[in-house]
A and B are shown apart, each in its own frame.
Chain A
């Protein structure tokens, strides 16, 4: 048993070295170069870990390829912490799944901002690269995925949120305030 434990420790150390980690399991401190978004709680943070399907990690419900875009994704850090990635680096209501999905189950490094009051914090993913790579990729893949899904609205991508058919349907049905279109009128007339 003792030999087995020592072997596991040796394997873990070897893996950590390959990934550029310390033997304590913590990522080597690397200065974040994340861009400030001027948010009161933002904390620049570089992460080292694996891209995971959050529900798979929590519950063992694991579709192929991290759900192929239908699951919220996160970073399971080399320290064992699970970080939910809520946002990519684009400024207009864009999630991070399209930017994480190509790295499903891969060891990565990321740079971005943690936001929220501890312990309820989520991550803004600004850059990502595979472990061992030198070049970063900015996180803006959301746009190409949206255009592929909405080719008829390609020219409207800069204001995708006004033209996305799913959004348009909701606003037509519920109005801007979610109370029905008729409930919008008094407010709009008062503006």
Chain B
């Protein structure tokens, strides 16, 4: 009976054949770390994007935390794949575009409050445009090790 119960539950876990093909969309926005952005663990949303948060975003992406693409209207897409690579297996491509502004084409899904994007192609990578470290400094402050700061200060 337990096996039957598990089968009944897991049977719903896979998208059904014949389900409508989701739309292919092209969106432009900033690649960000969804954990810090949604949780507020490191402060206000504007501070956990852009150059201020670049290093932390690389850390979180390397740690396998979902990467997002935030469009200018504030819509957040959870990136599940990027140009065939995974968003959780240390895909160098996804690490290399953290905090960048990109235009991406892919299939969009929406379920239970979240938007998801399977990026077929990064159409354009504009690099890091949001230079907000001039406003917020580095978030979190320990993102740059003390010894690096000390070396930079030496004449």
Interface residues of B in 1-17 (CB under 8 A from A): 1-2, 4-6, 8-10, 12-17
Enumerate chain A residues within 8 angstroms of B111, measured Cβ to Cβ. 58, 82
Question: Which of B22, B55, B143 has the largest number of chain A CB atoms within 10 A?
Answer: B55
How many inter-chain contacts with C-beta < 8 Å in the A-B complex? 222
User: What size tier do the contact residues of chain A reach?
Assistant: 35 or more
Enumerate chain A residues within 8 angstroms of B23, measured Cβ to Cβ. none
CA A56 – CA B48 in complex, angstroms? 30
Check B89 for interface membership: any CB of A closer than 8 A: yes
A191 touches B113 (CB 8 A): no
Enumerate chain B residues within 8 angstroms of A14, measured Cβ to Cβ. 1, 4-5
Known: A58-B109, A60-B17. A97 touches B88 (CB 8 A): yes
B2 touches A18 (CB 8 A): yes
Enumerate chain A residues within 8 angstroms of B72, measured Cβ to Cβ. none
B8 touches A121 (CB 8 A): no
Check A45 for interface membership: any CB of B closer than 8 A: no
CA A58 – CA B111 in complex, angstroms? 8
Q: Please list 20 pairs of residues, one from A and one from B, whose beta carbons are closer than 8 Å in the complex, sorted by A's number.
A: A50-B9, A56-B13, A58-B22, A60-B15, A70-B89, A72-B78, A72-B80, A82-B111, A84-B114, A95-B63, A98-B64, A105-B10, A167-B59, A173-B96, A174-B54, A174-B128, A177-B128, A184-B144, A185-B152, A187-B138
Instruction: List residues of chain B with CB under 8 Å of any chain A CB.
Output: 1-2, 4-6, 8-10, 12-17, 19, 22, 34-35, 38-41, 51-52, 54-56, 58-60, 62-66, 76, 78, 80-81, 86-90, 92, 95-96, 98-100, 107, 109, 111-114, 116, 118, 128, 131, 133, 137-138, 143-145, 148-149, 152-153
Instruction: List residues of chain A with CB under 8 Å of any chain B CB.
Output: 11-12, 14-16, 18-19, 37, 39-42, 49-50, 52, 54-60, 62, 67, 69-72, 76, 78, 80-84, 86-87, 92-98, 105-107, 115-122, 124, 131-132, 142, 161-162, 164, 166-167, 169-171, 173-174, 176-179, 184-185, 187-189, 191
